[in-house]
Amino acid sequence: MASRPSDDDERLLRELGSALRGGAAVQERITTIGEGAFAWYGVDDELEFASLIHDSLLNEELTVRGELHRTVMFACSSVTVQVERSAGLVVGQVVPAVEGDICVLLAGGDSSWIRTDELGCFSLPEVPAEAFRLRWRTATADVVTDWIRL
Assess whether 79 and 109 both reside in one domain: yes
Assess whether 31 and 13 both reside in one domain: yes
Tell me phi and psi for residue 42, to 5 degrees: 85, -15
Nearest to 135 by CA among 29, 70, 39: 39
pTM of whole model > 0.85?
A: no
Number of domains, the chain:
2
Q: How many CA atoms lie within 13 A of 85 on its CB side?
A: 16
Assess whether 89 and 111 both reside in one domain: yes
Q: Distance (Å, rounded) from C-alpha 24 to C-alpha 59?
A: 42
Q: Distance (Å, rounded) from C-alpha 122 to C-alpha 102?
A: 8
Domain range for 31: 7-39
Per-position pLDDT tens, the chain of length 150: 455 557 788 888 888 877 777 666 667 777 777 777 666 555 556 789 999 999 988 876 655 555 578 999 999 998 999 999 988 899 999 999 988 899 999 998 899 999 999 999 999 989 998 999 999 888 788 899 999 998
Q: Is residue 1 part of a domain?
A: no
Assess whether 31 and 67 both reside in one domain: no
Alpha helix (H) residue ranges in 2-143? 7-22, 24-39, 60-65
Query: Do 148 and 52 touch, CB atoms closer than 8 A?
Result: yes
Q: Distance (Å, rounded) from C-alpha 28 to C-alpha 66?
A: 36
Q: Is 50 exposed, middle or buried (0-12, 13-18, 19+ CB in 10 A)?
A: buried
Assess whether 99 and 86 both reside in one domain: yes
